[in-house]
Structure 1
Amino acid sequence: MHWNLRLVAAKKGIWKATDLQRSLAEYGLVISSAKMSGLWSGQPLSLKLKDLDVICVVLDCEIGDLLIPEPEMVSWSVPDERSRWPSSCPPVIPRPRGHGSSPPE
């Protein structure tokens, strides 16, 4: 995902992180300067959904404006059968039928 906060804020005439920080505080979202710096300058490590709602209200935007999917960044490969289980796991060997207990009559 690409975090697009600065561009969305700029489209709303907000050019400084401190201006956005003040606007968010007016809606009850008080953010520390360190967290605001992380939101403004790069990819946030974590963000509460409730906080994302406030950001969307303040910027009059949708979540899709702030979070841009980047499917090309996802790599997928089928794991090798041998790499599925740790080498410390013993192999499972099924027991032959007929040696278990009989069902009740």
Structure 2
Amino acid sequence: MRWNLRLTAANRGIWKASDLQRSLAEHGLVISAGKMSGLWSGQPVSLKLDDLDVICVVLGCEVGELLVPEPQKVSRPGQEEGLQATVASSGRTSAVVPRRRDGRSLPSM
């Protein structure tokens, strides 16, 4: 997911994090300057769903405008195997295979 707060706010005429911070506080969401900086300039580490509701109300937007899916970043079955084959054919070290120390075999996948 890509966090899209800054562009969404700009589309509503909010150009400064401090302006948004004030509007959020008026709606009961008090955010520290440090957390506001993280929300404004980067990808938040965590965000409560209740806080997300307040942000959407203040900006008059839907969650889909703030959180933009990036499905191309998700690995799919078979992609990892293809990657391992590419690494093995390029002469690099292959994947580590775990082995039990007591001589018993590992379960088959």
TM-score surpassing 0.5? yes
* Mapping for residues 19-98 of structure 1, pairs under 5 Å: 19-77=19-77, 87-88=99-100, 90-91=104-105
Please identify which structure carries the higher helix content: 2
Q: Give the TM-score of the pair, scaled to structure 2.
A: 0.73
For residue 99 of structure 2, what is the amino acid of its counterpart? S
Q: What residue ranges of structure 1 are gaps of 5+ in the alignment?
A: 94-105
* CA 3–92 in structure 1, closer or farther in 2 if over 3 Å, else same: closer
For residue 9 of structure 1, what is the amino acid of its counterpart? A
Q: What residue ranges of structure 2 are gaps of 5+ in the alignment?
A: 82-94
For the 8 Å contact 2:100–2:106, the answer to whether it is kept is no
Instruction: For residue 75 of structure 1, report the CA deviation from its aligned partner.
Output: 1.3
Indicate the residue corresponding to 2:17 in structure 1: 17
For residue 33 of structure 2, what is the amino acid of its counterpart? S
- CA RMSD, Structure 1 to Structure 2 (Å): 2.2
Larger Cα-atom Rg: 1
- Tell me, in whole angstroms, the C-alpha distance in 2 between the residues paired with 1:44 and 1:58: 18
- Tell me, in whole angstroms, the C-alpha distance in 2 between the residues paired with 1:91 and 1:37: 52
Q: Give the TM-score of the pair, scaled to structure 1.
A: 0.75
Q: How many residues align?
A: 90
Structure number with the bigger relative contact order (C-alpha 8 A, sep ≥ 6) is 1
- Tell me, in whole angstroms, the C-alpha distance in 1 between the residues paired with 2:5 and 2:43: 9
Instruction: For residue 92 of structure 1, report the CA deviation from its aligned partner.
Output: 7.3
